[in-house]
Amino acid sequence: MAAHSRRALYGTAAATGVAWIGVMLARLFAGGAIGLAEQGDGKRLLCTFGVANARPWNADMWRHIYTTWVPHTWYGETCGADGSGEVYHSTQIWILWLAKLIHGPLGLPGALDTRAVGVVGAVFVGVLCGLFVLVLPGALRLRVLMSSAFGLVYADSAFAGYFISPFAEPAALLGLGALVFALLLLWRKGRATWPRLLLVLACALFTIAAKIQLASFVIPVAIAVVWLPHRGSARWWPRRGVVVRAVTRRAPALLVSLALAGSTGYYLLQQPKRQTEVAIYDVVFGSILHDNPSAVADLRDLGLPPHLAKAADTNIISANSIARTPDYPHFHKVVTPATIAYFYLAHPAHALRVFGWGLEGIAEMETHYLGSYPPDSGQPPGAREQRVRVYGFLWGVFRFAPGLLVVLWVLLFCLGLLVVRRRTLTMAESAIGRLAVITPIMIITQMGVVLLGEGRIEATRHQTYVTFLTALAIPLAALCVRYLVIRMRPVSRQERAPGFDRHPTLTSR
């Protein structure tokens, strides 16, 4: 591992960042803009800017992207989540705000254009890639390689389309990258510090507040921040017992975890109730009762009358939805997220079945019913772009055998533990191991929340973040293997010590 100067490091980071901005801009715009079509719920964020999508009434919005938004006055409940009028909260609004700032200078039509969101997204992906170079351990070449492997996930056809869409995914995906950066920064010196803890908190909050389903990250992030004791905490209550000391030395991290949990709880309370209502209906009638020979018994276990079995595979707005019948108030009262969680605990076969659907959804990697191109692109309706498809290619293995996803997650977790325990590695290298341990926890908790909240409905799209993290897991696992196989040389006690940094960066000051 060759040492390198600080100037070389910064220069490489900057070059990598700029290069990835270019890569992202090219993959989004070269040959015509691509994005991801929406399903009618795209306006819930953009309408808050007083704009409406400029498209013909009969536009096939599932099949084509319509990027331009024009000024429009929304009255009453017309601007809100699912027509409920309830405000849809997401940190994506900040990304949109930035996009609006550059919309004019870019010379784009209308009052807002999702192509400007694409430009903002490309810049942030570049920034993240540059930051990864700074916090990843090892030689510059390895840092650039790993950083580019992460950048390639953003550029993959499964995720890049979100950057030119009205969805909230860009904020969540970028937040997720920022969270990975913040965690590596937190761990790379072997001790936690207030600034780094607060950075993790900020990144986690930004990510969770992008999409309600990411509230699951509270658990893995809490584990991540309390993993290492606080810097200088060896002097805190030195004569207390082991447990008290362990807790005391992590007091700042525990406070950060509490703040994260509290903020997430508050955010959850602000979310539109209509979304939860629709999701619960989908879980019961779209998942639990789907192709279910024991539907009557399961309904009884849920506290519902057996005749509701006839509504299997309906959604809340179906013509034969029970939401339109006198049975619905009872359903609404009896079935809650807690009821569904208890049902799955008491019915492991159902839990296993929904887990299987979840795996199939992740193995699909990307939705095939939403188009990538604008109507004037010359592409057929619903055509999907495949300009960059590295991970999509690798995903062929999972499409063939979805169960291998579990193997990858378990493997990554074990590799991470081995790396953390390996005494021959520096703290910065151990940080990669810690990330490898936390990533599967993020995956499983996220998958659990999605399956509990959405079931098999649109499993692929709802598990975008599980897919994203699984894609990140591939280079992460490769790096862990490298450390375990190649880095056998013992490091000096000084190098292993918390606070030591073999390759100084801004972050080590």
Partner 1 sequence: MSRHWKVTAVLAGVALTGTSCTPAGRAVPYTEPYIQGLEVRQAGVVTSAALGIGTCHRMELPEELYNGSDVAPPVPCTEPHQTETYMVTVFTGALAAHRERPNPEQLVAAIDKACSYQPIRPYLGAGTHDGQWGVAIWGKFPTRADWAKGDRTLRCDLLGPTTAAERGPELRVPLRNIMRRRESAVVRRCRLGARDVTCAEPHHAEWVEPPAPFDPRPDVQQDMCRQNARAFRQGSLSGLTVSAEAMDGYVACWLSHKDGRMSVGTLRGGLT
With beta carbons less than 8 A apart as the criterion, state whether 72 and 50 touch.
yes
Distance CA 397, CA 180 (A): 26
Is residue 330 a contact residue for partner 1 (CB under 8 A)? Answer: no
**Most distant CA pair in the chain, distance:** 74
Q: Which of 324, 380, 421, 478 lies at the binding interface for partner 1 (CB under 8 A)?
A: 324
Residue type, 491: V
- Comparing CB distances to partner 1, the nearer of 64 and 189 is 64
C-alpha distance from residue 490 to each of 131, 137, 367, 426, 508 (Å): 28, 16, 47, 9, 22
User: 191 - beta bridge partners?
Assistant: none
- Comparing CB distances to partner 1, the nearer of 72 and 387 is 72
With beta carbons less than 8 A apart as the criterion, state whether 171 and 95 touch.
yes
Is residue 71 a contact residue for partner 1 (CB under 8 A)? Answer: no
Is residue 84 a contact residue for partner 1 (CB under 8 A)? Answer: yes
Is residue 75 a contact residue for partner 1 (CB under 8 A)? Answer: yes
With beta carbons less than 8 A apart as the criterion, state whether 465 and 210 touch.
no
Of 77-85, 95-103, 222-230, 343-351, which segment contacts partner 1 by CB under 8 A?
Answer: 77-85
Sites for partner 1 among residues 448-467 (CB under 8 A): 457-458, 461
Distance CA 471, CA 466 (A): 9
Distance CA 177, CA 17 (A): 14
Distance CA 276, CA 215 (A): 14
Size of the site for partner 1 (CB under 8 A): 41
CB atoms within 10 A of CB 156: 26
The minimum distance between CB 110 and partner 1, in angstroms, equals: 14
Tokens representing 295 are 């539907």
Is residue 276 a contact residue for partner 1 (CB under 8 A)? Answer: no
The minimum distance between CB 374 and partner 1, in angstroms, equals: 16
Is residue 155 a contact residue for partner 1 (CB under 8 A)? Answer: no
Q: 135 — alpha (psi -120 to 50), left (phi > 0) or beta?
A: alpha
Of 68-76, 137-145, 358-366, 436-444, which segment contacts partner 1 by CB under 8 A?
Answer: 68-76
Is residue 318 a contact residue for partner 1 (CB under 8 A)? Answer: yes
The minimum distance between CB 315 and partner 1, in angstroms, equals: 5
Sites for partner 1 among residues 288-317 (CB under 8 A): 315-317
Sites for partner 1 among residues 28-57 (CB under 8 A): 39-41, 43, 47, 52, 56-57
- Comparing CB distances to partner 1, the nearer of 162 and 391 is 162
The minimum distance between CB 272 and partner 1, in angstroms, equals: 10
Distance CA 393, CA 464 (A): 17
Q: The tokens 């013509």 sit on which residue?
A: 319
Is residue 82 a contact residue for partner 1 (CB under 8 A)? Answer: yes
Of 66-74, 132-140, 424-432, 489-497, which segment contacts partner 1 by CB under 8 A?
Answer: 66-74
Q: Which of 141, 300, 310, 332 lies at the binding interface for partner 1 (CB under 8 A)?
A: 332
The minimum distance between CB 107 and partner 1, in angstroms, equals: 26
Q: For residue 51, what is the enclosing H or E element? A: strand 51-53
**Nearby residues of 506 by Cβ (< 8 Å), 6 or more positions away:** 6, 10, 134
Question: Which residues of the chain form contacts with partner 1 (CB under 8 A)?
Answer: 39-41, 43, 47, 52, 56-58, 61-62, 72-78, 82-85, 274-275, 277-278, 315-319, 321, 323-325, 328-329, 332, 457-458, 461
